[in-house]
């Protein structure tokens, strides 16, 4: 029962977390319910020991922590990191394009490395952040918007007009991927202001006040458990909201102890992390430093805290694919519902080393959860995540892990019901341990 409940909670969480802004909004309200207090990055912090806090950056990255009852210089910080973004499509400014004075389609740009073919022929919706005029140009009015209805679709070209469609077709990002939005034969409809009008109607505001937006497409249909034994989760954005949700569940149930516990959720992992709210910026180091300085302001304490800390960099991993066994390492072949996967590469795209892998194995053993290991086939480059980017900013000991999944970066991904509970239990175990 606990497996099903945790899986359903994850599906519900993902359904609301349609963009990084909405993920942060969801995490925020969940943390507030659990007694976490919000801090603003641009105000002074007066942290107390053994208290719960969180802060956000750009409304799309979030950092939650429970301050230790003793100094991090002695007992370190336990950190779980994950990312809030997923591959998608951004709506360009002035996006409405008329076709034959009849159809209206939207101009888009791909965000991250999506499996583009998976986005065709399915109802899509649109959500994001809108910025509007106020009296002060340096302090504008920001709103989240989520249309929450099937609004757009990218129709395939019929097979009769493209006989080679089943032999693999190159997809032109500018031509083939513009979603159809409406039939509008009214010649007076302004294409220039079309999106602003649409947003204004949804938010019930004056369209003339809308200055800019940050909108992305998302799969309209909700995720579900499935399979003969209901063993799978089929859902958008499992990479990486499954890790965000598991980290959040563990932090919410954690109690204050001697070391400080941190959940770090970064935006922009899918495009390389080099943004002010991404892992390749001074953001995390600044937050870490502010926590440490609330105990002691000398440099020594900061360095001791760095070297007494440990991070679990959590991002999804690949299961062996039942139709493509040859794409995987001949020996290490993780499976769905086989427990969390430790990710290892000789090229150091993952932060795992033998010591940090062993730490994670020991945590799994304590939590009575099975554990697996992943390596790339030696002739394949494989992926990467934010762990090694973040350790380039602050050199904390770290391991890269994730749950095994199929169809990573498809609009609809597949993971395991049991694995989600396994990972929550390991994360809880991690937060319970004191160095």
3-state helix, strand, coil in the chain (%, to 5): 30, 25, 45
Nearer of residues 281 and 305 to Zn ion, judged by Cβ: 281
Residue pair 225/232 in contact by the 8 Å Cβ criterion: yes
Q: Does 240 bind Zn ion (CB under 5 A)?
A: yes
Give, as one character, the DSSP assignment of residue 160: G
- Judged by CB under 5 A, does residue 56 bind Zn ion? no
Q: Distance between CA 430 and CA 314 in Å, rounded? A: 13
56 has which bridge partners?
62
Q: Is 239 in the site for Zn ion (CB under 5 A)?
A: yes
Q: Which is nearer to Zn ion, 53 or 119 (CB)?
A: 119
Residues in CB range of 138: below 8 A, 6 or more apart = none
Size of the site for Zn ion (CB under 5 A): 3
Largest CA distance in the chain: 72
Q: CB of 315: closest distance to Zn ion in angstroms?
A: 4
Residue (239 or 257) nearer to Zn ion, CB = 239
CB of 269 to Zn ion, least distance (A): 6
Burial of 399 (0-12, 13-18, 19+ CB in 10 A): buried
Contacts of 85 (CB under 8 A, 6+ apart): 20, 60, 111, 112, 240, 267, 268, 269, 270, 271
Site string for Zn ion, 272-311 (x = CB under 5 A): ----------------------------------------
Question: Is residue 415 near Zn ion by the rule CB under 5 A?
Answer: no
- Least distance CB 379 / Zn ion (angstroms): 23
304-343 binders of Zn ion (CB under 5 A): 315
Query: Should residue 400 be labelled a site residue for Zn ion when binding is judged by CB under 5 A?
Result: no
- In this structure, what token pair is assigned to residue 167? 């032999």
- Triad 154, 158, 160: Cα angle to 5°: 165
Of 205 and 408, the one with the shorter C-beta distance to Zn ion is 408
Q: Is 267 in the site for Zn ion (CB under 5 A)?
A: no
Residue 196 or residue 245: which is nearer to Zn ion going by CB? 245
Which residue ranges make up the site for Zn ion (CB under 5 A)? 239-240, 315
């Amino acid at each position: 029962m606990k497996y099903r409940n945790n899986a359903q909670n994850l599906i519900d969480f993902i359904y609301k977390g349609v963009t990084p802004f909405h993920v942060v909004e969801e995490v925020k309200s969940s943390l507030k319910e659990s007694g976490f207090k919000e801090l603003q990055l641009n105000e002074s912090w007066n942290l107390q020991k053994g208290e719960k806090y969180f802060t956000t950056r750009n409304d799309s990255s979030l950092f939650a922590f429970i301050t230790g009852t003793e100094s991090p210089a002695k007992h370190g910080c336990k950190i779980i990191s994950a990312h809030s973004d997923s591959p998608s499509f951004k709506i360009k400014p002035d996006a409405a394009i008329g076709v034959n004075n009849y159809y209206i389609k939207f101009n888009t740009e791909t965000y991250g490395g999506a499996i583009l073919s998976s986005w065709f022929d399915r109802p899509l919706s649109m959500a994001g952040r809108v910025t509007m005029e106020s009296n002060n140009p340096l302090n504008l009015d920001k709103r989240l918007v989520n249309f929450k209805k099937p609004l757009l679709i990218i129709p395939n070209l019929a097979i009769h007009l493209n006989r080679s469609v089943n032999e693999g077709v190159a997809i032109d990002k500018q031509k083939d991927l513009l979603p159809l939005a409406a039939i509008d034969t009214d010649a007076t409809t302004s294409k220039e202001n079309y999106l602003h009008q649409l947003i204004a109607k949804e938010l019930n505001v004056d369209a003339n006040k809308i200055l800019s937006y940050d909108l992305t497409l998302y799969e309209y249909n909700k995720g579900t458990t499935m399979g003969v034994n209901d063993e799978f989760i089929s859902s958008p954005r499992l990479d990486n909201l499954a890790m965000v949700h598991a980290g959040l569940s563990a932090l919410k149930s954690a109690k204050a102890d001697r070391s400080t516990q941190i959940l770090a959720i970064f935006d922009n992992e899918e495009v390389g992390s080099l943004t002010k709210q991404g892992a390749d910026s001074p953001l995390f180091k600044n937050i870490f430093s502010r926590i440490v300085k609330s105990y002691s302001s000398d440099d020594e304490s900061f360095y001791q805290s760095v070297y007494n800390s440990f991070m679990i960099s959590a991002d999804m991993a690949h299961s062996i694919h039942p139709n493509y066994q040859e794409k995987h390492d001949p020996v290490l072949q993780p499976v769905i519902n086989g427990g969390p996967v430790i990710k290892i590469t000789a090229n150091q795209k993952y932060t795992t080393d033998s010591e940090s892998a062993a730490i994670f194995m020991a945590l799994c053993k304590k939590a009575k959860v099975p554990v697996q290991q992943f390596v790339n086939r030696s002739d394949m480059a494989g992926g990467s995540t934010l762990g090694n980017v973040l350790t380039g900013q602050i050199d904390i000991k770290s391991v890269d892990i994730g749950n095994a999944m199929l169809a990573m970066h498809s609009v609809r991904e597949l993971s395991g019901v049991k694995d989600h509970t396994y990972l929550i239990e390991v994360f809880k175990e991690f937060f319970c341990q004191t160095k």
